C-alpha cells in the first residue's frame, strides 16, 4: 500500500498545531496515528484534494504543485496581518510499496 508522508517544511507566522518537521502519514484512506505528530482541519483541507491523485501516480508537476517528485501546498490560514495565526508549508511525498510494485510487475510479465 502506498503511503503519503506530509511534512511541515516551513511556518510563516505562528501555528498553534504544528512545528517544523512534524509529519502526517496517510496509508490508503487512513491516517496512521502512531506515525503522525499532529492533525489540523484547516491544513487538511489544503492537501485533501490531492491525496488520491498523488497516490494514483499523478506527478506533482501535472497538478501544479512542484517540479520533482514532491508536492508542496500551504495551509489556508493567511497569517498576519489577516489573522493571528500563520500559514504552514507542507511537502507531500509518495512512498511506494516496493513489494506490491514487484508483485504487480511479475503479474504483468506472466500474461
Domain that holds residue 69: 3-109
β strands within 1-111, DSSP E: 3-13, 23-27, 30-31, 70-74, 86-95
pLDDT tens digits along 15-72 = 999 999 999 999 988 999 999 999 998 899 999 999 999 999 999 999 999 988 999 9
CB-count exposure of residue 90 (10 Å: 0-12, 13-18, 19+):
buried
Task: Tell me the β-bridge partners of 74.
Answer: 89
* Total tally of structural domains belonging to the chain: 1
Q: Is the pLDDT of residue 103 over 50?
A: no
Amino acid at each position: 500500500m502506498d503511503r503519503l508522508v506530509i511534512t511541515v517544511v516551513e511556518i510563516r507566522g505562528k501555528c498553534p498545531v504544528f512545528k517544523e518537521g512534524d509529519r502526517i502519514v496517510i496509508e490508503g484512506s487512513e491516517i496512521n496515528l502512531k506515525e503522525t505528530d499532529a492533525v489540523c482541519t484547516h491544513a487538511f483541507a489544503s492537501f485533501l484534494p490531492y491525496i488520491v491523485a498523488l497516490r494514483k501516480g499523478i506527478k506533482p508537476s501535472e497538478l501544479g504543485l512542484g517540479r520533482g517528485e514532491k508536492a508542496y501546498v500551504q495551509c489556508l490560514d493567511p497569517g498576519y496581518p489577516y489573522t493571528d495565526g500563520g500559514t504552514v508549508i507542507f511537502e507531500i511525498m509518495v512512498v511506494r510499496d516496493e513489494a506490491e510494485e514487484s508483485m504487480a510487475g511479475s503479474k504483468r510479465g506472466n500474461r
